[in-house]
Amino acid sequence: MKLLLAALLWLLASLALAGRWTPAEEARALALGNDLRCPVCAGETVSQSTAALARHMLGQIKSQIRSGRSDPQILAYFVARYGRNILLTPPHSGLGLLIWLLPAAALLVGGGLYLRYLRRQDQPDGSAPPEERLAEVDRLIRENSPPELGREHR
Amino acid sequence: MSRRVLRWWPVALATLIVLALAYGLLKPGQSPVTPLVGQTAPAFSLPTLRGGKISLAALHGRPVVVNFWASWCVPCQQETPTLERFAARYGKQAAFLGVTFSDPVADARRFVQQYGISYPVLIDHRSDTAINYGVTGVPETFFINAQGVIVYHAVGPLTAALLRKELARIGVAVRPS
């Protein structure tokens, strides 16, 4: 009788625990939910949103984790239904790759152009006025200055 | 390439980027097209409001119209009389199904009574079917042909003209109005 009672208790306890999510499962579900845009919210992820649909989506993620699906498989499931827009970060392939590379390319090109500009500023480029021209400008200033200024000049 | 052309290319590039961004911001909004169009409709087996269960597999070989709705949704209230009229007229050629979306059963039942809905209404408790169909809100309607392929996904309230057009596309012999 005692043995039967113990077996029954063990069965009940395992059934109760089976419905619970482990901290690891919970963390993985939340991380995946943070990669997905909530389709009925403005600028919120599935994990952040309190909308009923987002809660159900999180539930789906957990169910799929339990059934042994990998992270890419779970994300692919949502992409197949909602399109690529459901992903919060663009994919690292195709057009999505361009979005990742473009800022780096812009930084390199911009940096290069700025360096070139700085080098040019440092180098004498031959456009500086020669001595004779400076002397001529000086003479013209003296000639065209009012008398009192001219005296000061002299 | 001459130096003058080279000097202007950053300006040209910046202009191009600004124009592309402006186009992206100002172009008219497009209704989202589900990637499921052209694909086999996801299977479901759900309880109905009247008791019993209906599965999509059991309807294979018939065109099916799956309408996701909720009693709290105003556009659903607008489209339901039209959908009911078409279901009454073409219910022998195609299966019309309503699927509740984030709606308490009691509210859904009241709605069914109020609008005299004759077609089966299925209860999608945890929105599993809605998520499987990529539903983002209500009303959304899927037109599935006899081969089980989604032919059209309507976002927003249905109109008589749209119903006539899409029912014809899934193989229903639509009579002129």
CATH number of the domain to which B61 belongs: 3.40.30.10
Q: Tens of pLDDT along A50-73?
A: 999 999 999 999 999 999 999 999
Among A81, A86, A113, A120, pick the best mutation site for testing chain B contact (most B Cβ within 10 A).
Answer: A81
* pTM reported for the whole predicted model: 0.72
Q: Could A60 and B137 be called an inter-chain contact, meaning their C-beta atoms sit closer than 8 Å?
A: no
Query: Least CB-CB distance to B131: which of A60, A79, A83?
Result: A60
The residue type of A154 is R
Asked whether residue B110 is assigned to any structural domain, the reply reads yes
Asked whether residue B108 is assigned to any structural domain, the reply reads yes
pLDDT: which is higher, B161 or A102: B161
What's the DSSP call for residue A84? G
CATH superfamily ID and name for A2-86: Cytochrome C biogenesis protein (1.10.8.640)
Query: Least CB-CB distance to A81: which of B33, B36, B126?
Result: B36
What is the ipTM, given to two decimal places?
0.80
Q: What does the block give as tokens for A48?
A: 């952040």
Region A99-112 average pLDDT: 85
Asked whether residue B4 is assigned to any structural domain, the reply reads no
Nearest CA in chain A to B103: A52
- A41 CA: distance to closest CA in chain B (Å): 10
Distance between CA atoms of A104 and B77, rounded to whole angstroms? Answer: 51
Q: Residue B110, CB half-sphere, CA atoms under 13 Å: how many?
A: 8
Query: Least CB-CB distance to A53: which of B32, B33, B127?
Result: B127
In terms of residue numbers, what domain contains B124? 45-169
Q: Total domain count for chain B?
A: 1
- Residue ranges in chain B modelled with pLDDT below 70: 1-2, 24-33
Which residues partner with B122 through β-bridges? B48, B99
Q: Could A79 and B35 be called an inter-chain contact, meaning their C-beta atoms sit closer than 8 Å?
A: yes
